[in-house]
Structure 1
């Protein structure tokens, strides 16, 4: 059977169209697998690839720059991903870039996203390994939510137990909530505390008024002693005179004692006078009275030093005498 010209034309058109379609398919597949581009390989290590497959896209700052070349299991916790990257992107990717695994949209295929680093490192080279970051997957989120739900259920049950116990009047809070008598007593205690606080504040105010009056009022004895320097000086002179008188009395008593000793040891009329019992008794009585008077005077001086009105003055006088002694 001879072929006609029309059949030859049809056959030629079929071959031409088939060849064009074959070349287009090879080109598209080659573009997909980067067969017609100059590429280089980098890799990263992950603990979980989250469904990533060989041939999935690799993106850098949202731009497709390559594909996943190989996924290999290193050990039970480490997975190595080899990526084929377009050589034109080499100058833009630094060694401090970070690789993460994400999804292309909400329900799309898994892809590898390369996030730029700080830009201070050198440019990557063929075969380099970049750092990786494992994002929390949906399974981890669901597991966390499950644990949180269980904890919330346990917490709710415990709160229900506490609420029931409080409603039944158990524990301190339950007693306070249900015992009206204790609540009334607590209310009265708080009222009493408020009253005592107000009384204390009033007493402090009155004390401040008294202290202010003492500082500014010279009509009272204590105010005069505190504020009037002239009266203080007079009181100081009186105390000094009393001390001088006390010293002189002691000297007189010493002289009298010396004379008495001379009388006791002398001969003649003096001895006779001394040995006269009536005269001796009279002299002894006189000396006893003088000694008792001196002792009482000293006691009065000591009491005056400890009196609240003059104690400050004596302390001030003592400090002044210490300064003068130094």
Structure 2
């Protein structure tokens, strides 16, 4: 009898604990799914729900404020999403609010995010529809990224081939970097250029000496003397003109000073 009573007590304790755990689970699930407390409904129409499911969270200013109650297909291009939201946040969601589908982290579950709308607008009401923004199509993004990666791989292979050819001394750049013949020819060119410059200098020196000798030649001596005399006359003419200009300036200055002195005397007499 004692063993049976002990077994009954154990069974009763186990059942009580299991029932309590069940109640706690129901309460937690119901609280997360907004089964308890006052709520209201909003609707948003999307062309692509992007993997959204009933039961996913609704987030407002970064806070979970509700859940997705249902997703209903309206046509072959649109679906209406019903959002069950806590009534206490209703005053903060204004007319003109926008709903969008995003992810909870990089690889997390889908969720609905709501913006507050116009600042001076009235709050939304139960059953209102809000504007919906279409989600980003990750398949298109991934296809573009894969295309970029493929092009980058091709470019990398081409650059590697070019670098290999340069290292082997092929092409203009390879010959420039690894061939001694090009460097030797450049050195020869520089040497020839230096020799040419020296020849030009010697030629110019010889030409100067020849011109000086021609000046002293009795046949051309008169010609150079005439040129020197003409040059001296031109210089003397310029000097005389400069002196005349200086005299004119001096006369005009003295005339101005005399006029100023006469005007001062007249003012004193007055």
TM-score w.r.t. the length of structure 2 is 0.52
Flag the 1:149–1:5 CA change in 2: closer, same or farther, 3 A: closer
Whole-Å Cα distance in 1 between the matches of residues 101 and 88 of structure 2? 23
Flag the 1:135–1:19 CA change in 2: closer, same or farther, 3 A: closer
Flag the 1:146–1:77 CA change in 2: closer, same or farther, 3 A: farther
Contact 2:49–2:135 at 8 Å: present in 1 too? no
Report the counterpart of residue 277 of structure 1 in structure 2: none
Whole-Å Cα distance in 1 between the matches of residues 145 and 65 of structure 2? 36
Whole-Å Cα distance in 1 between the matches of residues 23 and 148 of structure 2? 57
Question: Is 2:117 the partner of 1:113?
Answer: no
Structure 1, unpaired ranges of 5+: 153-326
Question: Is 2:125 the partner of 1:125?
Answer: yes
Contact 1:99–1:133 at 8 Å: present in 2 too? yes
Deviation at residue 144 of structure 1 after TM alignment: 4.7
Whole-Å Cα distance in 1 between the matches of residues 113 and 76 of structure 2? 23
The alignment partner of 2:42 has SS state of: strand
Contact 2:93–2:115 at 8 Å: present in 1 too? no
Whole-Å Cα distance in 2 between the matches of residues 121 and 146 of structure 1? 44
TM-score w.r.t. the length of structure 1 is 0.43
Where in structure 2 are the equivalents of 1:154-233 lying within 5 Å?
Answer: none
Contact 1:100–1:114 at 8 Å: present in 2 too? yes
CA offsets per residue over residues 86-142 of structure 1, 9 Å max, x none?
A: 011111100111000000000000000001223122100100000011132212223
Flag the 1:11–1:118 CA change in 2: closer, same or farther, 3 A: same
Contact 1:54–1:71 at 8 Å: present in 2 too? yes
Whole-Å Cα distance in 2 between the matches of residues 150 and 10 of structure 1? 67
Where in structure 2 are the equivalents of 1:90-109 lying within 5 Å?
Answer: 90-109=90-109
Deviation at residue 29 of structure 1 after TM alignment: 1.8
Moved over 4 A (4+): 143-152
Whole-Å Cα distance in 1 between the matches of residues 7 and 149 of structure 2? 75
The alignment partner of 1:18 has SS state of: helix
Deviation at residue 45 of structure 1 after TM alignment: 0.6
Flag the 1:147–1:21 CA change in 2: closer, same or farther, 3 A: closer
Report the counterpart of residue 142 of structure 1 in structure 2: 142
The alignment partner of 1:130 has SS state of: strand
Report the counterpart of residue 57 of structure 2 in structure 1: 57
Q: Quick one: higher RCO (CA 8 Å, sep 6+), 1 or 2?
A: 2
Contact 1:96–1:119 at 8 Å: present in 2 too? no
Where in structure 2 are the equivalents of 1:224-263 lying within 5 Å?
Answer: none
The alignment partner of 1:75 has SS state of: coil
The count of aligned residue pairs is 153
The alignment partner of 2:128 has SS state of: coil
Whole-Å Cα distance in 1 between the matches of residues 9 and 142 of structure 2? 65
Whole-Å Cα distance in 1 between the matches of residues 22 and 82 of structure 2? 29
Report the counterpart of residue 44 of structure 1 in structure 2: 44
Instruction: Select the structure of larger CA radius of gyration.
Output: 1
Q: Which piece of structure 1 moves more, 22-31 or 50-59?
A: 22-31
Flag the 1:119–1:2 CA change in 2: closer, same or farther, 3 A: same
C-alpha RMSD over aligned residues: 2.5
Whole-Å Cα distance in 1 between the matches of residues 23 and 43 of structure 2? 32
Whole-Å Cα distance in 2 between the matches of residues 94 and 29 of structure 1? 29
Contact 1:45–1:80 at 8 Å: present in 2 too? yes
Whole-Å Cα distance in 2 between the matches of residues 150 and 17 of structure 1? 59
Contact 2:45–2:131 at 8 Å: present in 1 too? yes
Whole-Å Cα distance in 2 between the matches of residues 6 and 97 of structure 1? 62
Whole-Å Cα distance in 1 between the matches of residues 108 and 145 of structure 2? 24
